[in-house]
């Protein structure tokens, strides 16, 4: 459904996306995962024909974004990262406008509008002026306009950004419900979100794809190691050394706060028990012992360790 | 063509839901009424329509950039252009739809200004043929100004900057005739052909000629063309 081959995109002299190649097949829900500035939005803008590629071949349903741009755009529903709507229009009126631009008319247009209003929970706000809507509702209108023509391919750029936890859950449910009938490519920088909604994750960093796998495989790959935060009242460097000497511990470094250490170790609860026993045996107070979620940056460090990508920090 | 109509309708809605259309109409008719009253008072019956048309063209020089300033610049500023240009719509349809919305607003303004010749009917017997030719001239000039303003709007993401740029381009076309008197004969002739001022004069007097007609239509065509090219550039 989506075929990207060797996509490179320059903004002036700066490459935002370098030699990106991937495919999404029919009915798949794929997440594009990457930290800020990775090139997720840039890739999506090329896919939606908003920006032309500098090099490379980009096809949607076999249509090339340069040669058959209009045909590509007919097959795509796009939710941009920065949801910009006309503040003076009413929700229904706006959907009518977008539906017409997508080529709908008459009964098809009316039923399309009704369908997305229901799908996105906009029934009560259908006559509201867009400028008066809350961010969450604007996001829904953004989704509604992307869905209005029931497109085979959906490109959603950070669809849950700025929503409250309830709305996030609703949007994720909605995306899951789209799987099967639609091919979905969504971007996010939240790993659990990708795991929750998608069948496959493409990880992109600094304009290049660094990993591509099912969420399960990626998590397994990441689970080879674990990180634990330890807080000990009166702990010192000597204690840190002793922790490092424990079996299974690979590394100990001071945490951001005083009297805390970050312990990198092999997977499993064994190491945490050892650390707790050690501290207590030394007669010190163990104040905190908890696993640390890997930040996305760490995930990338982990995944790209072998690829030797220069780190500017 | 359907897309042109869809886009035009949205722009017209935006004009009339905001104060924009009303402010422009009131400004235009306000200034015109004031001058009209002065003309009537001074009793220069025979010169009246020419002067009115000339004033209208001059006012449109200021009004057209205001009407057009937001057409594309505002979409860039808000970011709505990203959704618009990822819809199956040709860049030319976007440009034309927006252009025609401004032209419709121009037609509404000119239709309302028709009250002046109607009033004049009471004071004398104006030549309706001449008046229609005069209106044709004003309309053509306004339509050309709008094309220039649309192009300026496509270059900017700030409305005010777009309006200022449009006024600068239009002032060039208005004043370029003056240069003609300070350069050589041949160059002067060429430059005069570019002058709005020179081209509008005959039409204002009610004398129909194809030369100004072609001049204004060329400006419309050329600047709409440039607008399409500017949209194609996709500056993000
Ligand atoms: N219009 C632009 N002009 C110049 N550089 C740009 C432009 N848009 C993006 N960039 C640069 O291109 C790179 C990729 O940006 P992009 O927006 O694609 O990242 P992203 O993965 O979507 O990040 P985020 O998670 O912050 O949305 C960044 O370094 C960014 O600074
Ligand atoms: Mg982005």
Residues 123-182 of A with CB under 8 A from B: 145
Domain spans, chain B: 2-235
Contact (CB, 8 A) for B197 and B122: no
Contact (CB, 8 A) for A259 and A232: yes
Across the interface, whether the CB atoms of A50 and B88 are under 8 A apart is answered no
Taking the alpha carbons at both ends of chain B, their separation in whole angstroms is 26
- Determine the atom of ligand 1 nearest the C-alpha atom of A14: 5
Supply the pLDDT for residue A293. Answer: 67
Closest residue to A101, CB basis, from B6, B13, B18: B6
> What are the pLDDT digits (tens) for B212-231?
889 899 999 999 999 999 99
Residues of chain A by 3-state class (helix, strand, coil), percent to 5? 40, 30, 30
- ipTM comes to 0.90
Supply the pLDDT for residue A299. Answer: 66
Supply the pLDDT for residue B46. Answer: 55
pLDDT in tens, chain A (313 residues): 899 999 999 998 999 999 999 999 998 999 998 888 889 999 999 999 999 999 999 999 999 999 999 999 999 999 999 889 999 999 999 999 999 999 999 999 999 999 999 988 899 999 999 999 988 899 999 999 999 999 999 999 999 887 888 888 888 888 888 887 899 999 988 877 887 888 899 989 889 998 888 877 776 666 667 788 889 888 888 888 888 888 888 888 888 888 888 888 877 767 888 888 888 888 888 888 887 766 666 666 666 554 443 443 3
Position B151 pLDDT exceeds 80: yes
**CA quadruple B1, B7, B10, B15: dihedral sign:** negative
> What are the pLDDT digits (tens) for B23-65?
999 999 999 999 888 877 776 655 567 888 888 999 999 999 9
> What are the pLDDT digits (tens) for B156-172?
999 999 999 999 999 88
Q: What is the spatial distance between Cα A124 and Cα A266, in angstroms, rounded to a whole number? A: 52
Supply the pLDDT for residue A253. Answer: 86
**Which tokens hold the place of B123?**
């004071």
Closest residue to A88, CB basis, from B17, B82, B86: B17
Mean pLDDT of B173-202: 76
**CA quadruple A62, A64, A68, A71: dihedral sign:** positive
Burial of B17 (C-beta count, 10 Å sphere; 0-12/13-18/19+): middle
């Amino acid at each position: 459904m989506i075929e990207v081959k060797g996509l490179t995109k320059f903004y002036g002299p700066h490459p935002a996306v370098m030699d990106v190649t991937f495919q999404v097949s029919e009915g798949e829900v794929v997440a594009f995962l990457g930290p800020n500035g990775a090139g997720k939005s840039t890739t999506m803008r090329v896919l939606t024909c908003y920006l032309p590629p500098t090099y490379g071949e980009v096809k949607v349903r076999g249509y090339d974004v340069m040669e058959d741009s209009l045909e590509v755009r007919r097959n795509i529903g796009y939710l941009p990262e920065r949801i910009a709507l006309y503040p003076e229009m009413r929700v229904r009126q706006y959907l009518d406008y977008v539906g017409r631009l997508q080529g709908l008319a008459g009964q098809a247009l009316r039923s399309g509008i009704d369908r997305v209003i229901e799908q996105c929970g906009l029934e009560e706000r259908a006559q509201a002026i867009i400028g008066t809507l809350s961010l969450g509702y604007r996001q829904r209108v953004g989704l509604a306009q992307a869905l209005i023509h029931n497109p085979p391919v959906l490109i959603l750029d950070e669809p849950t950004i700025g929503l409250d936890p309830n709305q996030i859950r609703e949007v994720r449910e909605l995306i899951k419900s789209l799987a099967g009938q639609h091919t979905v490519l969504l971007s996010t920088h939240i790993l659990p979100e990708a795991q929750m909604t998608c069948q496959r994750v493409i990880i992109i960093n600094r304009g290049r794809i660094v990993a591509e796998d099912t969420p399960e495989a990626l998590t397994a790959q990441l689970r080879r190691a674990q990180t634990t935060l330890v807080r000990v009242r009166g702990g010192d460097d000597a204690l840190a050394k002793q922790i490092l000497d424990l079996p299974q511990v690979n590394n100990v470094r001071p945490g951001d706060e005083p009297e805390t250490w970050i312990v990198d170790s092999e997977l499993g609860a064994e190491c945490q028990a050892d650390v707790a026993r050690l501290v207590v045996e030394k007669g010190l107070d163990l104040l905190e012992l908890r696993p640390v979620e890997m930040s996305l940056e760490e995930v990338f460090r982990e995944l790209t360790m072998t690829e030797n990508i220069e780190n500017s920090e | 063509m359907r897309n042109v109509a869809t886009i035009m309708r949205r722009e017209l809605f935006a004009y009339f839901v905001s104060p924009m259309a009303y402010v422009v109409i009131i400004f235009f008719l306000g200034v015109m009424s004031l001058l009209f009253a002065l003309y009537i008072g001074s009793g220069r019956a025979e010169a009246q329509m020419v002067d009115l048309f000339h004033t209208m063209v001059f006012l449109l020089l200021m009004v057209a950039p205001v009407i057009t300033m937001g057409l594309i610049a505002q979409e860039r500023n808000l970011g709505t252009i990203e959704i618009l240009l990822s819809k199956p719509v040709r860049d030319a349809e976007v440009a034309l739809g927006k252009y025609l919305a401004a032209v419709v607003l121009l037609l509404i303004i000119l239709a309302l200004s028709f009250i002046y010749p109607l009033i004049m009917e009471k004071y004398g017997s104006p030549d309706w043929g001449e008046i229609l030719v005069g209106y044709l001239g004003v309309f053509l000039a306004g339509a050309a100004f709008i094309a220039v303003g649309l192009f300026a709007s496509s270059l900017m993401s700030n409305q005010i900057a777009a309006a200022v740029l449009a006024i600068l381009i239009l002032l060039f076309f208005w004043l370029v005739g003056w240069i003609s008197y300070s350069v050589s004969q041949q160059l002067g002739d060429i430059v005069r052909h570019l002058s709005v001022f020179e081209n509008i004069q005959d039409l204002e007097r009610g004398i129909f000629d194809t030369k100004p007609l072609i001049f204004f239509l060329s400006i419309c065509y050329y600047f709409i063309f440039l607008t399409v090219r500017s949209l194609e550039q996709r500056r993000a």
